[in-house]
C-alpha cells in the first residue's frame, strides 16, 4: 500500500458549544431532576519541550490544546457528591465528601472529588455537588486528560461556591487552584506527577506557550503562533499502553531526588549546564543511572531556555534540533521512550519534519512533530505507513494550536 492511499485517523476537537451541549444533555438525562447550575471546561496539553523537569524545579513549555473536558455541575445543600461520565458506562457513583481521604477513592472519581477534598483542606467552604463529565481529550494518550478533568471541576466549584479564584486575570487565584489539583492527583488519585499539566490547563493563554518555572511557580507567556510562520504542530497519539508506566515514573522521580540529596542541593535546578555545574555533579555521583538521569534533567532545562530564546527572536523554524536532542536525551539518558515513540520521530523526520520528540511522561502516549503547514498530511501519512509496515496498531493524529485555559 502506498503512503498516499493510507487513510489517516484524525482526532477532532469539539467546538465549545458542542461540548457544553453534550455535557448538559448528559446531566439532565442521567440525573433526571433539572438542569445544572452551568457548564465549564478545561483543556488537555502538549508540552513543547522541558520533559521530566517539573518535579526537579525546572522549566517546561506546554500549550493548552483545543481538546477539552467538559463538566455540567450543580451545587447541593449537603455533603453528597453524585458523578456520571459519558466515558464510564457503569452508571452513577455517589459518595460523601467527608469520607474522601488518601486511599479511599478509586478510578476517575478520585480526580473529581480529590479537587473538592483539596479545596476543603485549604480551608475553602466547598460542599456536595452533582456533576456530569464528557471529554474529547484522548484518554491515556499522554495529553493530560486527568489534569483537564481536575481543572474543569476546579473552575466549576470555584464558580458555584463563590471562591473567586478563577477570575480571567487572576493568575494568583488560578495558581492556587492548580496547586489544589496537584494535591488531588498526588494524594487522592495517587499519581506522583509534577505540576506542569495542571498549570497548563488553568494558567495557559491562547496563542502563547506557557513558560513555567517550577522552582517558584512563576510563568511567562511566550507568543506561539505557528501558522504565522507557515508551520504546524502535528501530535501523534501512538495508542501504545505500557503497563509499567506508573512505577517507572515514580522511579525516575525517586532517582532524581536521591541524586539531589547526594549532591547536597534542594532540587536538580541548582545544577547549571556549565562545567562547574554539570561536570562537577556527574563526577560526584557514583551511581551510573543517576548520572544519566541528572544529565537529562540539566540539559533539558537548558534546551527550554534556548527554545524560548528562538521563539522570542522569531526564529521559530530553528527549534527543530532542540526537539530532536530532547527526544534523544529522553530515550537514552532518561529511558522513558519506547519503540512507538521512536518510530514517530524517525518517520516524521524522514518525511521532512523540522523536529520531533516524545511529549509528556513517556512509555507510550504521544509525540509531536514540527512540520511545514503544507506538509501536515504528508507527514501524518508517512507516520501512519511506518506503523502499518511495523505491524503496529494505527496511531491517531491531531494538529495542536495554543488555546484558552479552563473557564
Ligand atoms: C507527566 C506528568 C507531568 C510531567 C510529565 C513529564 O505528564 O503529569 O507532571 O512530569 O509527565 O514532563
174 C-alpha to ligand 1 centroid (Å):
19
Query: What is the pLDDT, as a whole number, of residue 78?
Result: 98
| Distance from C-alpha of 36 to C-alpha of 197, rounded to nearest angstrom | 27
Residues 203 and 219 occupy one common structural domain:
yes
156 pLDDT more than 50: yes
Is 106 one of the annotated active-site residues of the chain? Answer: no
- Select from 46, 50, 52 the residue to mutate for testing ligand 1; criterion: most ligand atoms less than 8 Å from CB: 52
Query: What is the pLDDT, as a whole number, of residue 2?
Result: 44
94 pLDDT more than 50: yes
CATH number, domain at 258? 3.30.70.890
The set of cell numbers assigned to 209 is 506557550
Number of separate domains in the chain: 2
Query: What is the pLDDT, as a whole number, of residue 170?
Result: 86
Interior angle at CA 304, CA 298 and CA 305, nearest 5: 95
255 pLDDT more than 60: yes
Residues 233 and 317 occupy one common structural domain:
yes
Residues 336 and 263 occupy one common structural domain:
yes
Give the residue from 198, 223, 248 where a domain finishes. Answer: 223
- Would you say 348 and 383 are in contact if contact means Cβ atoms under 8 Å apart? yes
pLDDT tens for each residue of 115-138: 999 999 999 999 999 999 999 999
pLDDT tens for each residue of 166-208: 997 889 999 999 999 999 999 999 999 999 999 999 999 999 9
Mean pLDDT of the chain: 96
- Would you say 340 and 238 are in contact if contact means Cβ atoms under 8 Å apart? yes
158 lines ligand 1 (CB under 6 A): no
Q: Which domain holds residue 375?
A: 226-400
Helices and strands, number each (H, E), in the chain: 11, 12
Which residue's CA is the closest to the ligand 1 atom numbered 1? 361
Q: How far is CA 378 from CA 122, 209, 229, 242, in A?
A: 50, 26, 18, 28
- Report the SS3 class of residue 365: strand
| Distance from C-alpha of 162 to C-alpha of 251, rounded to nearest angstrom | 40
pLDDT tens for each residue of 368-405: 999 999 999 999 999 999 999 999 999 999 999 999 99
Mean of the pLDDT values across residues 20-37? Answer: 97
Residues 216 and 242 occupy one common structural domain:
no
Give the residue from 170, 196, 223 where a domain finishes. Answer: 223
90 — pLDDT class (breaks 50, 70, 90): confident
The set of cell numbers assigned to 282 is 556527574
pLDDT tens for each residue of 320-345: 999 999 999 999 999 999 999 999 99
Amino acid at each position: 500500500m502506498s503512503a498516499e492511499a493510507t487513510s489517516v485517523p484524525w482526532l477532532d476537537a469539539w467546538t465549545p458549544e458542542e461540548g457544553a451541549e453534550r455535557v448538559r444533555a448528559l446531566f439532565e438525562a442521567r440525573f433526571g431532576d433539572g438542569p445544572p447550575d452551568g457548564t465549564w471546561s478545561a483543556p488537555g496539553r502538549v508540552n513543547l519541550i522541558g520533559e521530566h523537569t517539573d518535579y526537579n524545579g525546572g522549566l517546561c513549555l506546554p500549550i493548552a490544546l483545543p481538546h477539552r473536558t467538559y463538566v455540567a455541575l450543580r451545587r447541593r445543600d449537603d455533603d453528597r457528591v453524585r458523578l456520571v461520565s459519558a466515558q464510564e458506562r457503569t452508571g452513577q457513583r455517589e459518595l460523601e465528601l467527608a469520607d474522601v481521604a488518601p486511599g479511599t477513592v478509586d478510578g476517575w472519581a478520585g480526580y473529581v472529588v480529590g479537587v473538592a477534598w483539596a479545596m476543603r483542606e485549604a480551608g475553602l467552604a466547598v460542599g456536595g455537588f452533582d456533576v456530569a463529565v464528557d471529554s474529547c481529550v484522548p484518554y491515556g494518550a499522554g495529553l493530560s486528560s486527568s489534569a483537564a478533568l481536575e481543572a474543569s471541576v476546579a473552575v466549576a466549584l470555584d464558580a458555584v461556591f463563590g471562591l473567586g479564584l478563577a477570575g480571567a486575570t487572576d493568575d494568583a487565584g488560578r495558581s492556587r487552584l492548580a496547586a489544589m489539583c496537584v494535591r488531588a492527583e498526588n494524594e487522592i488519585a495517587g499519581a506522583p506527577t509534577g505540576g506542569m499539566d495542571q498549570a497548563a490547563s488553568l494558567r495557559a493563554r491562547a496563542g502563547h506557550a506557557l513558560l513555567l518555572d517550577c522552582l517558584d511557580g512563576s510563568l511567562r507567556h511566550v507568543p506561539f503562533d505557528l501558522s504565522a510562520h507557515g508551520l504546524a504542530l502535528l501530535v501523534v497519539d501512538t495508542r501504545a499502553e505500557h503497563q509499567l508506566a506508573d512505577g517507572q515514573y515514580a522511579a525516575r522521580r525517586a532517582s532524581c531526588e536521591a541524586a539531589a540529596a547526594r549532591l547536597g542541593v534542594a532540587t536538580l535546578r541548582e545544577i547549571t549546564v556549565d562545567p562547574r555545574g554539570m561536570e562537577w555533579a556527574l563526577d560526584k555521583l557514583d551511581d551510573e543511572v543517576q548520572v544519566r538521569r541528572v544529565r537529562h534533567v540539566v540539559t533539558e532545562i537548558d534546551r527550554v531556555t534556548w527554545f524560548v530564546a528562538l521563539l522570542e527572536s522569531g526564529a521559530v523554524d530553528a527549534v527543530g534540533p532542540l526537539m530532536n536532542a530532547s527526544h534523544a536525551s529522553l530515550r537514552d539518558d532518561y529511558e522513558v521512550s519506547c519503540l512507538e515513540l521512536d518510530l514517530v520521530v524517525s518517520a516524521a523526520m524522514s518525511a521532512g519534519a523540522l523536529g520531533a520528540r516524545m511529549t509528556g511522561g513517556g512509555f507510550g502516549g504521544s509525540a509531536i512533530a514540527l512540520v511545514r503547514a503544507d506538509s501536515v498530511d504528508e507527514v501524518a501519512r508517512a507516520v501512519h505507513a511506518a506503523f502499518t509496515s511495523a505491524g503496529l496498531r494505527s496511531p491517531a493524529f491531531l494538529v495542536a494550536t495554543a488555546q484558552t485555559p479552563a473557564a
